[in-house]
């Protein structure tokens, strides 16, 4: 019986020592990080040259709304002070909808398109985890602030670009017609982000972070090749719409050390 108690004591103390060691900082840790959140876009600042685009009482500018974010990162946490990571994410789908009335009078119509954004970014996030007086620790758990920035490129995919709700014309009667149609246009733009938030980590097992991120995918143009009401395909080079994409975002990420 005494021998059994001695063996049990040794196993218990060994297990506790191993658990305690897992709470000690390591020089570097690799991780994967799935994430989500919501992106709240600013107004697109759409500018349409006149001519050929008709001036409208309401103008062309409109918000793009909000949409969910899905992301995945791989990275390395160095000295519990900085994360270096590569990230791919998707924001789908922002919607531009603008009801317009011609300044010359007449029936109203709708300008519209959808926007899908897929950025690939390289980021550096600074952590309070390895900085004295910049964290709150209890047991194997730690809470600390994070700030960071990223840079990369985005695919901006414009789809379903068209003017709808026009009066019936020709073969469309009695149904409404549409014009200035283009199925999709892809642009690649320099993109950067900055973020600030807090992170909770449990030892060197996992961590979860949340906070605010500013996302800027820069300026880009609308479709160059379009199909107009007559059915003809036209090249509107130098007369495309110009616009921009910027967004305020809430993010939540789960870091899993491997």
Burial call 46-69: b when 16+ CB within 10 Å, e when fewer: bbbeeeebeebeeebebebebbeb
How confident is the model at residue 245, as a pLDDT? 97
pLDDT at site 69: 98
Given this model, what pLDDT does residue 188 score?
96
Do the Cβ atoms of 213 and 249 come closer than 8 Å? Answer: yes
CA angle at residue 231 from 229 to 237, to 5 degrees? 80
Note the pTM of the prediction, 2 decimals.
0.84
Looking up tokens 């985005």, which residue turns up?
154
Residue 124 CA to residue 149 CA, distance in Å, equals 6
CB 160 within 8 A of CB 113: yes
- How buried is residue 36: exposed, middle or buried, by Cβ count under 10 Å (0-12/13-18/19+)? middle
Q: What pLDDT is attached to residue 189?
A: 96
Cα–Cα distance, 23 to 137 (Å, whole number): 11
Local structure of residue 9 (DSSP, 8 states): H
Backbone angles phi, psi at 135, to 5 degrees: -155, 165
**pLDDT of res. 172:** 66
What's the rounded Cα separation, in Å, for the pair 6 and 60? 80
The CA-based angle 14-26-37, given to 5 degrees, is 110
CB 195 within 8 A of CB 148: yes
Cβ(158)–Cβ(185) under 8 Å?
yes
Q: Which one-letter DSSP state was computed for residue 226?
A: E
pLDDT in tens, the chain (258 residues): 444 334 434 434 444 344 443 444 557 899 999 999 999 999 999 999 988 898 999 999 999 999 999 999 999 999 999 999 999 999 999 999 999 999 988 889 999 999 999 999 999 999 999 998 999 999 999 999 999 999 999 999 999 999 888 777 766 677 776 778 888 899 999 999 999 999 999 989 999 999 999 999 999 999 999 887 677 888 998 899 999 999 999 999 999 999
d(CA 72, CA 35): 6
Q: What is the C-alpha to C-alpha distance for residues 151 and 158, in angstroms, rounded to an integer?
A: 22
Q: What pLDDT is recorded for position 52?
A: 86
**Which domains are present in the chain?**
26-158+182-220+241-257 (2.40.160.20)
The DSSP-derived string for 39-56 is EEE-B---B--TTTSPPB
């Amino acid at each position: 019986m005494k021998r059994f108690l001695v063996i049990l004591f040794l196993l218990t103390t060994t297990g506790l020592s191993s658990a305690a060691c897992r709470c000690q900082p390591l020089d570097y840790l690799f991780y994967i990080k799935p994430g989500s959140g919501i992106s709240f876009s600013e107004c697109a600042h759409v500018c349409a040259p006149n001519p050929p685009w008709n001036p409208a009482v309401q103008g062309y500018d409109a918000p793009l709304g909000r949409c969910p974010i899905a992301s995945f990162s791989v990275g390395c946490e160095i000295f519990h002070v900085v994360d270096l990571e590569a990230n791919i994410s998707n924001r789908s789908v922002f919607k531009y909808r603008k009801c317009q009335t011609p300044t010359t009078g007449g029936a109203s119509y709708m300008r519209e398109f959808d926007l899908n954004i897929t950025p690939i970014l390289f980021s550096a996030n600074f952590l309070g985890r390895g900085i004295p007086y910049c964290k709150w620790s209890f047991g194997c758990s730690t809470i600390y602030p994070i700030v960071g920035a990223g840079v990369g490129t985005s695919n901006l995919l414009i789809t379903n670009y068209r003017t709808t709700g026009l009066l019936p014309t020709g073969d469309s009667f009695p149904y409404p017609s549409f014009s200035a149609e283009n199925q999709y246009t892809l642009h690649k733009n320099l993109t950067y982000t900055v973020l600030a938030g807090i992170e909770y980590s449990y030892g060197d097992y996992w961590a979860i972070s949340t906070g605010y991120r500013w996302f800027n995918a820069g300026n880009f143009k609308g479709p160059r090749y379009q199909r107009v009401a007559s059915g003809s395909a036209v090249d509107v080079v130098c007369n495309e719409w110009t616009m921009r994409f910027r967004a305020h975002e809430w993010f939540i990420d789960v870091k899993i050390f491997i």
